[in-house]
Amino acid sequence: MRMWHSLALSLGLLLPAACGDSSSYNDMPPVTPAAATTCVGSSNVPLPNPQSTDFRLEEVMSAAGLSSPMDLQAPSGDTRLFIAERPGRICIVQNGALLPTPFLDISSRVTTGGEAGLLSFAFDPQFSTNGFVYVHFIEPTGNANGDIVVERYQVSSNSNLLDVSSVQPVIRIQHRDFSNHYGGRVAFGPDDMLYLSTGDGGGGGDTLMNGQNTLTHLGKLLRLDVSALPYTIPPDNPTWGAAQPSEIWAIGLRNPFRYAFDTPTQRLYIADVGQGAREEIDVVAAGASGINYGWNITEGTLCPAGPCPPPGLTAPVYDYDHGGGRCAIIGGYIYRGAAIPALEGQYLFSDLCTGFIRSLSLQNNAATVSEAPIVNVGNLLSFGQDGFGEIYVLTADNRVLKIVSP
């Protein structure tokens, strides 16, 4: 399997795993053990000479002690940083200090087997008035794998704590055949609908044939109306040939670990992890529904049979091969912060195995890609974005780094 293709972390050393895509090995680094209910630790790995002509990386020093940071978010205008750890906690950095009590701790309900864990979370667009937070994780089932789960929590009387008793289920998607290709990310779009990206269910070459199957939620981008729970299906969602609209907004995705909306341009960017050859970035209008991104008919710009691209499929605006040790794309965000004007409107992304940071800009749907010289973070797990549009990177050695002006 490979969401994180050809990478394993064992006894503190990065070791290459076997190539291919079987269900019997795991490419995501195992979770570094941490105290059960604390967000504060003692480790602090120094950043090795981050220099670039475009930007530099600055370590968030007070974030030392995190365990596999997987997501970083904040409500608009909020100075706090909320950091999700893969084992099942969300921690807070406030006034430069990592608070000892988690914002949320559901580690007893989260599996970290394979590529599982607490993968993402999202603040409701009306968070300032309703206090709702949507948490996306993998919950163990009767076998060794787990289901994709999204739940809603509400802030307690303490603004730094979610009320665990307020939990409300949003959606559960069965994912029990393999421990890879869960996807994914939960986020709100410019339309205030909740979106969820899901992997194809695992195995090699889409073993379960889910990418093109509109009867399953795997290998898809879903769109839900969560203005009230249980969710409803927006009436303008596609029908996929059925009598009524479906939760499915788009199909043909392999393992869309990260995607991002850009409100100023009303675009959606999806970084979809490839299999053995190509990593791709898809960019479409945010309101474009019923799109088929091609998997497993295509992988990036590769078409094993017939015309290329096949009729009816949406090709990526950019893809890259696995030369030079590249292995799995990690999608980021379109920069809309104030600190680095030169990055305005550029989409930042990376690769798990090589740790570059590249920017992509679009003109007339043609992509221009640049790589930040000298900037390399090792094994980058995810990007994050604070309440002011500034962007962070989260690494396999538990660092949180902010992209800052040179």
DSSP label of 130: H
Determine the pLDDT at residue 63.
65
Tell me the domain boundaries of the chain.
8-30+49-404
Residue 191: both structure tokens together = 């339309």
Report the mean per-residue pLDDT for the chain: 86
Determine the pLDDT at residue 34.
45
Q: In what order do the strands lie in the sheet with 118-123?
A: 118-123, 132-140, 146-155, 162-173
Read off the pLDDT of each residue in 214-231 and give the average, rounded to a whole number. Answer: 97
pLDDT in tens, 354-389: 999 999 999 887 888 988 876 778 899 999 999 999
- Tell how strand 132-140 and strand 347-351 pair up: unpaired
Read off the pLDDT of each residue in 195-215 and give the average, rounded to a whole number. Answer: 94
Cα 96–chain centre separation: 25
Determine the pLDDT at residue 41.
43
Identify whether the C-beta of residue 213 lies closer than 8 Å to the C-beta of residue 207.
no
Determine the pLDDT at residue 306.
72
Give the pLDDT band of residue 13 (cuts 50, 70, 90).
very low
Assigned fold of 8-30+49-404 = Neuraminidase (2.120.10)
Cα–Cα distance measured from residue 21 to residue 324, given in angstroms and rounded to the nearest whole number: 19
Read off the pLDDT of each residue in 346-350 and give the average, rounded to a whole number. Answer: 96
Which has more confidence, 128 or 365?
128
Over pLDDT 90: what percentage of the chain? 70
Determine the pLDDT at residue 46.
35
Does residue 301 carry a pLDDT above 90? yes
DSSP structure string for 344-398: TTPEEEEETTT-EEEEEEEETTEEEEEEEEEEE-SSEEEEEE-TTS-EEEEETTS
Cα separation values, 382 from 127, 129, 201, Å: 23, 29, 21
pLDDT in tens, 136-184: 999 998 766 899 999 999 999 999 999 999 999 999 999 888 888 999 9
Residue 389: both structure tokens together = 């549009």
Determine the pLDDT at residue 31.
56
DSSP structure string for 284-321: EETT--SEE--TTT-BTTB-SSSSSSPTT-PPPSEEEE
Give the pLDDT band of residue 30 (cuts 50, 70, 90).
low
Determine the pLDDT at residue 39.
65
pLDDT in tens, 57-107: 999 866 668 999 999 999 999 999 999 999 999 999 999 889 999 999 999
Does residue 191 carry a pLDDT above 60? yes
pTM: 0.90
